[in-house]
Amino acid sequence: DAKTTQPTSMDCAEGRAANLPCNHSTISGNEYVYWYRQIHSQGPQYIIHGLKNNETNEMASLIITEDRKSSTLILPHATLRDTAVYYCIVRGSGSARQLTFGSGTQLTVLP
Amino acid sequence: DTAVSQTPKYLVTQMGNDKSIKCEQNLGHDTMYWYKQDSKKFLKIMFSYNNKELIINETVPNRFSPKSPDKAHLNLHINSLELGDSAVYFCASSQRQNTGELFFGEGSRLTVL
């Protein structure tokens, strides 16, 4: 599975949109982009995933560039409870393909 | 009602002991996993079971033995505990094996003294 690169940390003001970038320049055609987050002392939580189209759900939006070499997770109105480590993961579509977590981005939402 | 539950949440034990961590999911999922998160916060997969059959077995010492009595349970038994086994162990489940949408438990923090 392709490697991802994320900034180590980011801050965001409460109520503003949080835009978390991820580079995955070696992604191949059948690999999906997944986003998870881990709030301190909790288990990782699935947020969203996509292949090439932009996706939106109740938690976030995922914008994938046309060449699929990068993506952005958008939390439209960040709250203090969104403070967490956010992981961008590229995963192939075959069976038994595992999720490989990197070091992620520590997002801190500031009051 | 907790979807993926692990017990115990905290475990403190001496080197050389044997311990088990239990995991249960009530989501009706076919696939279950064990992940390890070390002190540097890296999450690594250890094992995955699909319908009680082992499908992923990463390079893990054979002191670690998973057991799946049924598809709702995946337990982790660790023999001869070492200091380096100290970590948070996360259980997870997914509806099927070819999906990346996993549901994680709250973790079991193991401390080996």
> CA B70 to CA B16: how far, in whole Å?
29
- The answer to whether A87 and A102 have CB atoms below 8 angstroms apart is yes
| pLDDT of amino acid A59 | 95
Q: Residue A96: left (phi > 0), alpha (psi -120 to 50), or beta?
A: left
pLDDT tens digits for A14-50?
999 999 999 999 998 889 999 999 999 899 999 999 9
CB-based contact, A49 to chain B, within 8 Å: yes
Q: Which of B42, B48, B107 sits opposite A101 (nearest CB)?
A: B42
> Cα distance from B90 to chain A (closest Cα, Å)?
7
Confidence of residue A89 (pLDDT cuts 50, 70, 90): very high
CB contact under 8 A, B97 and A34: no
Q: How would you class A110 by CB atoms within 10 Å of its CB: exposed for 0-12, middle for 13-18, buried for 19 or more?
A: exposed
Geometric angle at alpha carbon B107, from A96 and B58, rounded to 5°? 30
pLDDT in tens, chain B (113 residues): 679 999 999 999 999 999 999 999 999 999 999 999 998 888 999 999 988 888 888 878 999 999 999 999 999 999 999 999 999 999 999 998 888 999 999 999 999 99
